[in-house]
Amino acid sequence: MFIFGIISLRKVKDMCQIGDKVIHINGGVFEVSEIKIMNYGFGDVKYICLKPHFVDPINKTLTIYVPFDKKDELIRPIMTRAMALEVIEKIKSIEPIWYNEAKIRKEKFALLLNSHEIDNICIIVKSLYVKQLELEENNKSLNLMDYDYLRKLKKGIEEELAISLNIPIEEVGDLIAKTIS
């Protein structure tokens, strides 16, 4: 498995001020809208409330509640501009990985995803993208699980790069294509 090991974004300690932009483990850029104490029957718990930075027409009112004591596991700061440019440069050299058995692939990809490292997320996306291209040559497509992973993670990376590079999200794909070609 190829892991850059350079792009480490796990430092969440100083993050979590209202207005901060963060990445949720399930992908996508979110903004900290508030930090509050709530009780869901298990006593008072401090939560970080996240709203999507890019409004999703389907989930206009989406709010994610992250327990403050779980923030290091569930959210991370957005990469800097320098990190974003480095990630784009390294995408070309990523070696795709593939496990033919869906259950094993799901487990391995989940381990990469749960690392919270952008380089590992790029490994998943490139692996799925390359497999998608291979399948399309034979008039086939990714299974639903793989397709959903690819769609969700690609969207999350594009959102994060757009914020990090201060460019419209629509330009991210072209920038990546231009950089790696």
CA atoms 115, 57, 154, 30: torsion sign: negative
Residues of CATH 2.40.10 domain(s) within the chain? 21-76
Counting as low any pLDDT under 50, the low residues of the chain are 1-13
- CATH 3.30.450 assigned to domain 21-76? The reply is no
The residues, ordered by sequence, that sit 6+ positions from 91 with a Cβ below 8 Å of its Cβ are: 122, 126, 176, 179, 180
Best CA proximity match to 3, nearest among 100, 174, 176, 123: 123
The fold adopted by the segment(s) 79-180 is Methane Monooxygenase Hydroxylase; Chain G, domain 1 (1.20.58)
Q: What is the pLDDT of residue 12?
A: 46
Q: What is the pTM of this model?
A: 0.81
Q: What is the pLDDT of residue 6?
A: 37
Q: What is the pLDDT of residue 4?
A: 40
For residue 84 the two structure tokens come to 């974003």
Q: What are phi and psi of 50, to 5 degrees?
A: -115, 135
For residue 96 the two structure tokens come to 């795709």
Residues of CATH 1.20.58.1290 domain(s) within the chain? 79-180
